[in-house]
Structure 1
Amino acid sequence: MKNKALVVIDLQNDITKNYKKIIGQVNEAIDWAAANEMHIIYIKHYNLSEKTRTFKPGTKGSELVPELKAVSENVFEKSKASALTSEAFAEFVEKNRITEFYITGADATACVKSTSYNLVKAGYKVHVVSDCVTSYDLKKLDEMFTYYADKGCEVKKLDDYTDVKIQYKRLDADCFNAHSLDSFVRHQTVTECWRKVDNKWVLVHNPFVENWTIEQCREIAEDIEHHINHDQTGFGAFDSERIVGFATVSHHFFGETANYVELVCFQVSEEYRHRGIGRKLFTMICEEALRLGADKLYISGHSSKESQAAYYALGCKYAEEINEILAEKEPFDVQLEYIL
């Protein structure tokens, strides 16, 4: 284990709901840290004052948010802003000779601020992963990032640390053709899927492996090539000339309660997942949907446990209005929407 640690601060149920905007990115940071053999540490805040009602020990509000990936048992409690005030955390740092920290979590104006400042003051090297930090007041984030840098922290986005040099382009004839997906790896091992039983969503054991053949890749590429010239907009993530992620949105509107457009395709090649590529493509699609005049993005999403968790982390929820044509086309998909 290296002398580096990723620290996730105070992502608990009582924290600002703005955490939902970063939780997917934080989970990707956890995957990156684990792949690089870093210590992964979770910090929980407890309010011990009788005058407070949030973050009380033993309550649901003090528990880590359910979407957060738990990959280690390194969970430490504190009752003050700085994580260094936790004796157990300080002892863990000393015992494992940790000298370098990557900070994520909340709140940028409070516990993230105090922890980062005091770690630098104590002589540690501190990186604040800016797109993995949030606050109850999002308008203060830029001010806080400047503060961190002034105090000696390095402030960068997750992609800058993962060394993923990805270019994002609007798909057109110059960058996409029928052979563009020849090296794309659409592989997924599924063990559980969501199914509606007695009008309730439950996870059921349903193991299978999904893997596109070269023929399927070319068929899908040809379909995308046709539609981006007519009635869809597409975006791609490129590693040099190779496309490693793509997403397309339809120009056709539907819906009685809102103006929906469909997220038609949304894929990231297997070896490039958990690097923020999917989130970036999703953001680009949402911006395009807004430009088209839509209120909501409609998704007929893969029902696997992992796929649904990814959509949930992006902020998607069950569709309020079901497109029966899309639902019948893929009866095992989960019909979702994202409010733009």
Structure 2
Amino acid sequence: MEILLVIDMQQKYMDSYESDLLERVNMRIQEAVAADIPVVYVRNVGKIENEDKYVLAEGLDVVSEYVFAKRWPSAFSSEEFAQFIERLKVDTINMVGVDGRCCVARSAMDARKRGYAVRLYLDSVAAINDNFYLKELPEMQETGVETIAD
């Protein structure tokens, strides 16, 4: 089974990225819905006392109740997320979101270490620092992360 994992598409971060990123991510979400692929959201919540400031982005298509909180860069730092995809018997994780250099990259690398196939949709991933992100892409590809450029 495969899922679409939407990483850290949160209102707090949207001003740091291209204005059409949300539209591109929503397009991937709608493609997943049409293909009957579950859409899972992971959001960074920072410190416990600030959790309510880390809401999903306005205008993000939220098509499932599968929303998990994490406090560290990798989605797998959320035990609830890791257990959920294990229960679903997920074998392939399609990833979109931010930040390509940090949270997306860490999630992709951790997914590969755990044996998942990973597809990274480059048109729906953004990074604040493209130089670092572009250096990380070959490292991710070497571990088996498939990058989709269209």
Query: What TM-score results when the alignment is normalised by the length of structure 2?
Result: 0.92
Provide the rounded CA distance (Å) in 1 between the counterparts of 2:137 and 2:22.
19
Q: CA deviation at 1:85?
A: 1.4
The answer to whether residue 142 in structure 2 is matched with residue 150 in structure 1 is yes
Q: CA deviation at 1:144?
A: 2.8
Provide the rounded CA distance (Å) in 1 between the counterparts of 2:25 and 2:144.
22
User: Which residue of the other structure, out of 105, 117, 142, is the alignment partner of 2:109?
Assistant: 117
Show the counterpart of 1:26: 25
Provide the rounded CA distance (Å) in 1 between the counterparts of 2:112 and 2:75.
12
Q: CA deviation at 1:148?
A: 1.7
8 Å contact from structure 1 (residues 22, 134) kept in 2: yes
1:1-340 matches, cutoff 5 A: 3-15=1-13, 17=15, 18=17, 20-48=19-47, 56-59=50-53, 62-157=54-149, 159=150
Secondary structure of the equivalent of 2:57? coil
CA deviations over 1:16-69 (Å, ceiling 9, x no partner)? 52053321111110111111111100101011178xxxxx2012xx01111211
Provide the rounded CA distance (Å) in 2 between the counterparts of 1:16 and 1:138.
16
Alignment RMSD (CA, Å) = 1.6
Provide the rounded CA distance (Å) in 1 between the counterparts of 2:82 and 2:18.
26
> Percent of aligned positions with the same letter in both sequences?
28
Secondary structure of the equivalent of 1:88? helix
More strand by share: 1
Unaligned runs of 5+ in 1: 51-55, 160-340
8 Å contact from structure 1 (residues 41, 74) kept in 2: yes
**One-letter identity of the residue aligned with 1:47:** G
CA separation of 1:135 and 1:152: change in aligned 2, threshold 3 A: same
Provide the rounded CA distance (Å) in 2 between the counterparts of 1:48 and 1:138.
27
Q: CA deviation at 1:88?
A: 1.2
CA deviations over 1:190-240 (Å, ceiling 9, x no partner)? xxxxxxxxxxxxxxxxxxxxxxxxxxxxxxxxxxxxxxxxxxxxxxxxxxx
8 Å contact from structure 1 (residues 109, 144) kept in 2: yes
Secondary structure of the equivalent of 1:47? coil
Q: CA deviation at 1:138?
A: 3.0
More helix by share: 2
8 Å contact from structure 1 (residues 46, 79) kept in 2: yes
Provide the rounded CA distance (Å) in 2 between the counterparts of 1:94 and 1:121.
14
Provide the rounded CA distance (Å) in 2 between the counterparts of 1:121 and 1:145.
16
Secondary structure of the equivalent of 1:57? helix
Number of equivalences: 149
Provide the rounded CA distance (Å) in 1 between the counterparts of 2:48 and 2:56.
20
Provide the rounded CA distance (Å) in 1 between the counterparts of 2:26 and 2:76.
23
Q: CA deviation at 1:143?
A: 2.3
Provide the rounded CA distance (Å) in 1 between the counterparts of 2:71 and 2:90.
22
8 Å contact from structure 1 (residues 16, 135) kept in 2: no
Unaligned runs of 5+ in 2: none
Secondary structure of the equivalent of 2:13? coil
Provide the rounded CA distance (Å) in 2 between the counterparts of 1:111 and 1:11.
11
**One-letter identity of the residue aligned with 1:97:** K
Provide the rounded CA distance (Å) in 2 between the counterparts of 1:88 and 1:49.
16
